Amino acid sequence: MKRNLFLLCFLSLVSLSFAQVNRVSDGFEATVKGVDIKVQFYSPDIVRVFKTTATSNLERKRSFVVTMTPQPVDLAIDEQSDKVVAKSSDLEVSLNLITGSVQFKDLGGKSRLGQHQEGLMSQRNQHLVLEQNNMQISIPYFASVKGYGLYWDNYSITTFDDSPMGTSFRSEAGEAVDYYFLYGKDGDGTVALLRQLSGQAPMVPLWTLGFWQCKERYKSKEEIVGVAQRYRELGVPLDAVIQDWKYWGEANENWNALQFLNPGFSNPDWMFGKLKDLHVNMMITIWPSVGISTDIYKDLYDMNAIYPMQSSPREAKVYDVYNKDARKIFWDYMNKNMFQKGMGAWWMDGSEPEFYNTVQGDFNQPTAEGPLRNVRNAYPLFVSKGVYENQRATTEAKRVYILTRSGYTGLQRYGAGSWSGDIRASWEVFRKQIPAGLNYSICGIPYWNTDIGAWHPFFNVYRTANTDPAYQQLYCRWFQFATFNPMMRAHGTGSPREIYQFGQRGYWAFDVQEQYINLRYQLLPYLYATAWQVTSKGYSYLRQLSMEAPADRNTYHIADEFMFGKAFLVAPVLEENAASRKVYLPANGQWIDFWSNEAYEGGQTIERATPIEIIPVFVKAGSIVPLTTQKVQYATEKKWDKLEIRVYPGADGDFTLYEDENDNYNYEKGAYAEIPMHWDDEAGILTIGKRSGEFAGMLKSRTFVVKVAGAKTGKTVRYK
């Protein structure tokens, strides 16, 4: 039996005797009890609903999020005495002409929003205040295991409520009810529609999929270069280091000067030159608040683009990121003092933004896009917009890569992802990161990660952190989890985080980290191909189990396992001294243990042993996984002229190997290559198809070593 979802969105109603209906090319308009309502089809499976008491609001409202232009849709519209119904090839939408309620037929299910730290997948019976804060990324969107999603297009502080009485959004400010209904039919399809609506994620540079090293903080250029040199001496792969705060100096008045004013960073050209020689990239922290004694503060103040409220620290103030000219000035400082010297990526900290000692009246502060109260939650979207658009205007030769503490719908189109903020070190907090990342990913933003081992180890029992065996265990388990994140990044305060600070080679805390860094680099061809699926197909790295097996109701509330791309099911070890953990395998085929190659039927819970070097990982039968066969020190050190193609039998399967020039935008002009592969399970044959496309520096021939998982030997194939 079909179930119906009713979404009731009301404004103050003025009584009129009769509803007025007007058919338009992309839907219909009606006035019900004084409320103007438009139901507009953007595609057969995306519908916008707009309600207002002033028709002019519809014409002038410009979405910060929606980039999609409505497409022509074949519609059948039926007017009845009490309702009007519009049908596309995928969806039926009806408006009740008496109550003003809108109905989407044959839909229903559970809901989830943004990144939160409650540790839940389902948001049923939840009350959430959606306001950007450290560790809380607020996105007014929910998705259902039934295959639909709803995006509420309002940027003010919003309250989400779900109860047996219904589901609702209530926003603090706004002139209209404006939302988009997306019917993707399944989880992956709905995420793809959200990207279609709000913008696709560009390709990340290949090197960003390697290992990143950071801590709070490196105090000189010699220290940061020394870290890179030590990794090279140890032979442990490394692609990037990150510089946290105070490179601008110790005085808060110089906060975020976007200049290397700290004497420890004098002559930054020396640092960039050394890092380039070591093939190590650099990311640096940038804040939207600027110290009152900085040159950039004076420039922004002169153009009336500084908010008067106190920020972090109190000697700094937040700039009006909604002002296009202010964003350009901000980039000009970044470009001159950092990007032109060789800075590779941007760490946008405090992007909520942070305010202190504010009162409600402060948020009536005008911005270039209206009162701050009306646009507050979209602030982090504009932070990334300013960097992305200005860097791309500067050069197309280097891809934009942004890591931002906060985010909003559409962030993905600016080459940006987020991390989970300044979390504290405990097993409980560790467990909560999995649903936090999954909820964030399902909101359409594919790039997410956490500080490995958490930002604050010293707030808990781990006083000595890197030398404390108890913390080392938590850190190694977290490290294993991070191997299967879109970004693998060590960071935190209170103690150093470099691998050699945990002991020497031969000590378990060192060896486990090295093992998983090496695994990460083995997986680079799989990771990069998945990045292409993210960009070209609206796909996701982090996927809730219900996205993989929507018919298996047992997957709906699982918050401690996840899919990493299409192939891998990952079940992190989330308890101290755990000798084993239970793993549920979805009922949609066979699953093969990545470490032992033992096969299991889906639809059951198994007990997997978990010695310190093992995180339970299972591969879906039918998966084709490309692996590097050569040890490298950084992602682009060696071309993939010899790859192992590992086949996991038990079902048919497909995979497309993707390659391009790694760190520019030529792929947007067609400069990339794909090699399709198909596994016929019954015949036991892997077919490697003809390569399509080409790019500068492309390998014309290579060797594939095809192995069936568990086999001792494989077949070597020369591919041309």
CA 367 centroid distance within chain: 27
Classify 503 as helix, strand or coil.
coil
Q: With the CA atoms of 690, 696, 701 and 704 taken in that order, what torsion angle do they form, in degrees rounded to the nearest 10?
A: -70
Which position has the token pair 């609702």?
168
To the query of whether residue 451 is one of the catalytic residues in this protein, the response is no
Q: How is residue 577 annotated by DSSP?
A: T
Q: Per the omega criterion (within 30 degrees of 0), is the bond before 217 cis?
A: yes
Distance from C-alpha of 329 to C-alpha of 321, rounded to nearest angstrom: 11
Active-site residue (options: 389, 422, 637, 644): 422
Which residue, among 351, 484, 487, has the nearest Cα to 407 in the 3D structure? Answer: 351
Q: Given the DSSP bridges, would you call strands 211-213 and 240-243 parallel, antiparallel or unpaired?
A: parallel
CB atoms within 10 A of CB 14: 9
Please, what is the Cα angle at 217 between 215 and 223, to 5 degrees? 95
CA distances (Å), origin 144, targets 87, 185, 294, 560? 21, 10, 48, 19
Distance from C-alpha of 422 to C-alpha of 407, rounded to nearest angstrom: 15
Asked if 134 contacts 421 with a C-beta cutoff of 8 angstroms, the reply is yes
Give the pair of three-digit tokens for residue 114.
Answer: 């943004």
Asked if 198 contacts 188 with a C-beta cutoff of 8 angstroms, the reply is no
Active-site residue (options: 45, 349, 593, 663): 349
Mapping DSSP onto H, E and C, the string for 303-354 reads: CCCECCCECCCCCEEEECCCCHHHHHHHHHHHHHHCHHHCCCEEEECCCCCC
CB atoms within 10 A of CB 378: 23
**Residue 21 Ramachandran class (φ > 0 left, ψ -120 to 50 alpha, else beta):** beta
Give the pair of three-digit tokens for residue 383.
Answer: 């932070």
Distance from C-alpha of 671 to C-alpha of 223, rounded to nearest angstrom: 39
Asked if 140 contacts 180 with a C-beta cutoff of 8 angstroms, the reply is no
Which residue, among 471, 414, 412, 424, has the nearest Cα to 450 in the 3D structure? Answer: 424
Helix (H) and strand (E) counts for the chain? Answer: 13, 42
CA distances (Å), origin 301, targets 307, 322, 380? 9, 14, 20
Active-site residue (options: 36, 45, 299, 352): 352
Distance from C-alpha of 311 to C-alpha of 182, rounded to nearest angstrom: 38
Classify 561 as helix, strand or coil.
coil
Distance from C-alpha of 72 to C-alpha of 41, rounded to nearest angstrom: 8
Distance from C-alpha of 153 to C-alpha of 400, rounded to nearest angstrom: 26
Overall size of the chain counted in residues:
720
Give the pair of three-digit tokens for residue 515.
Answer: 């093992």
Amino acid letter for position 231: Y
To the query of whether residue 561 is one of the catalytic residues in this protein, the response is no
To the query of whether residue 422 is one of the catalytic residues in this protein, the response is yes
* Active-site residue set: 349, 352, 422
